[in-house]
């Protein structure tokens, strides 16, 4: 810049205060009044824009994932918390569906085979033969209906209604009952065993698979899901999964273990909700247990339904005893289903819960984890070995 240019700039700067004074004020006062206002506005506007942008992003994310948010809320335990979140997310789901904003997530889920489903498996009632005890007489014939209306099913005779999935008398009451429920395996044709269940079945299923493989007469497979069971098919539909297994793999032996996560509210098909240890809860849970046993049972297949063991908590112990009674009763009605009582394996000499129990060598060993519920590896091995010994009573797998 030339010297004359510098002088011109200085003159302009020097005139600025004079011009401000001529306008009726002081330059310093004008600067103090005019310059801070825009800067303060900028300081306030930026956080506001960030906040509005964040809220808009969250709303858009909620709309894009409304189906999953609603599904997750619906899988919460029945109660006020579940009702609150369903009420919060269902309007988002409705808007998302109307604006087609949920389509991208649906396409992505379909691409990775992770589609949401609201339908649950429907049980189909079917006759289940009941085997007479060895050496006992054949079961008595079904009493005739009044006025010669035909035979009465066991459900009708006991007043349980036609929809009850409990066992009914087989069509031929005097048909010969097979003496063996599962075939004798060989190393060339091993038994196909499938183990399934909730979190209690994780360590147990692993031990069962390992010990079964060691016999060289069993080909094991398993599927255990934490936080699952029979009370909440909207979380995980076990009957549908088991139906898929028996249809596709046709196992010779199915070992299941449910109940640890089932002591929560249960909803009937007509929408009523019942809490554990109530008559309504027991009736609906029995219906599901019976239906699951029926879909698993088949000629030449043995179903071993493992009961829950004693728990550290008295309240949970009471609820597990309740479901075990249902398992035992329903299994007794079905020739192809065996109830295995795990309770005696995990009590001390007084019949009480104890984390540490004598192992095969007589030394005390932790059989239960710190939560007083789940099995340690030693406890899982103990249960798996006992179940395989029970299987050995049906067919030869141990020498």
pLDDT of 82 over the 60 cut: no
CA nearest 351: which of 382, 317, 385, 389? 317
pLDDT of 81 over the 80 cut: no
- When pLDDT is averaged across residues 215-242 and rounded to a whole number, the result is 95
What is the per-residue pLDDT for 165? 35
**SS3 state at 304:** strand
- Report the helix count and the strand count for the chain, using DSSP H and E: 12, 9
Annotate 22-86 with three-state secondary structure. Answer: HCCCCHHHHHHHHCHHHHHHHHHHHHHHHHHHHHHHHHHHHHHCHHHHHHHHHCCCCCHHHHHHH
Most confident of 26-35, 45-54, 60-69, 240-249: 240-249
Bridge partners of 356? 366
CA nearest 296: which of 239, 219, 373? 239
Q: How many other C-beta atoms are found inside a 10 Å radius of the C-beta of residue 347?
A: 14
| CA 354 and chain centroid, separation | 28
Longest dimension (CA), the chain: 129
In this prediction, residue 177 has a pLDDT band, given cuts at 50, 70 and 90, of low
Q: What percent of the chain has pLDDT over 70?
A: 64
Q: Where are the domains of the chain?
A: 15-111, 191-392
Please tell me the distance from the alpha carbon of residue 339 to that of residue 323, in angstroms, as a whole number: 12
In this prediction, residue 86 has a pLDDT band, given cuts at 50, 70 and 90, of low
180-202 per-position pLDDT tens digit? 899 999 999 999 999 999 999 99
Q: Which are the contacts of 153, defined by CB distance < 8 A and separation ≥ 6?
A: 142, 162, 168, 169
**Tokens representing residue 62 in the block:** 């909620």
pLDDT of 135 over the 50 cut: no
What is the per-residue pLDDT for 149? 36
pTM of the model: 0.66
Please tell me the distance from the alpha carbon of residue 343 to that of residue 308, in angstroms, as a whole number: 7
CA nearest 254: which of 285, 287, 221, 216? 221
CA nearest 116: which of 58, 62, 72? 72
Q: Which fold has domain 191-392?
A: Rossmann fold (3.40.50)
- When pLDDT is averaged across residues 253-270 and rounded to a whole number, the result is 95
In this prediction, residue 390 has a pLDDT band, given cuts at 50, 70 and 90, of very high
pLDDT of 252 over the 70 cut: yes
17-55 per-position pLDDT tens digit? 544 454 455 544 544 444 555 566 666 677 787 778 888
pLDDT of 142 over the 60 cut: no
């Amino acid at each position: 810049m030339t010297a004359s240019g510098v002088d011109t700039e200085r003159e302009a700067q020097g005139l600025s205060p004079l011009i401000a004074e001529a306008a009726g004020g002081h330059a310093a006062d004008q600067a103090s009044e005019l310059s801070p206002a825009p800067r303060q506005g900028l300081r306030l506007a930026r956080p506001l824009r960030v906040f509005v942008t964040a809220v808009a992003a969250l709303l858009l994310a909620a709309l894009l994932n409304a189906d999953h948010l609603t599904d997750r809320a619906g899988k919460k335990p029945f109660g006020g918390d579940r009702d609150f979140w369903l009420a919060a997310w269902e309007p988002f789901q409705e808007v998302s569906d109307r604006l087609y904003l949920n389509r991208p997530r649906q396409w992505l889920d379909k691409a990775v085979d992770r589609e949401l489903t609201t339908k649950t498996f429907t049980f189909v009632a079917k006759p289940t033969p009941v085997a007479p005890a060895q050496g006992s007489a054949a079961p008595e014939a079904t009493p005739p209906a009044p006025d010669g209306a035909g035979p009465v099913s066991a459900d009708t005779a006991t007043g349980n209604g036609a929809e009850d999935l409990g066992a009914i008398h087989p069509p031929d009451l005097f048909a010969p009952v097979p003496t063996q429920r599962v075939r004798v395996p060989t190393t060339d044709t091993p038994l196909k065993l499938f183990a399934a269940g909730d979190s209690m079945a994780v360590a147990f299923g692993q031990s069962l698979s390992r010990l079964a493989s060691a016999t060289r007469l069993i080909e094991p497979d398993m599927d255990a899901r934490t936080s699952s069971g029979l009370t909440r098919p909207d979380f995980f539909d076990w009957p549908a999964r088991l139906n898929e297994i028996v249809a596709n793999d046709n196992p010779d032996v199915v070992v299941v273990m449910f109940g640890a996560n089932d002591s929560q509210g249960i909803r009937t098909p007509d929408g009523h909700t019942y809490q554990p240890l109530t008559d309504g809860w027991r009736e609906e849970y029995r219906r599901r247990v019976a239906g699951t046993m029926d879909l698993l049972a088949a000629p030449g297949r043995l179903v071993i339904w493992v009961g829950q063991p004693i728990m550290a908590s008295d309240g949970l112990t009471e609820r597990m005893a309740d479901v075990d009674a249902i398992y035992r009763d329903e299994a007794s009605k079905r020739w192809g289903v065996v109830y295995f009582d795990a309770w005696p394996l995990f009590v001390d000499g007084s019949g009480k819960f104890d984390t540490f129990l004598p192992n095969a060598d007589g030394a005390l060993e932790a059989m239960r984890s710190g939560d007083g519920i789940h099995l340690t590896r030693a406890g899982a091995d103990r249960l798996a070995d006992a179940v395989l010994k029970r299987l050995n009573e049906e067919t030869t797998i141990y020498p």
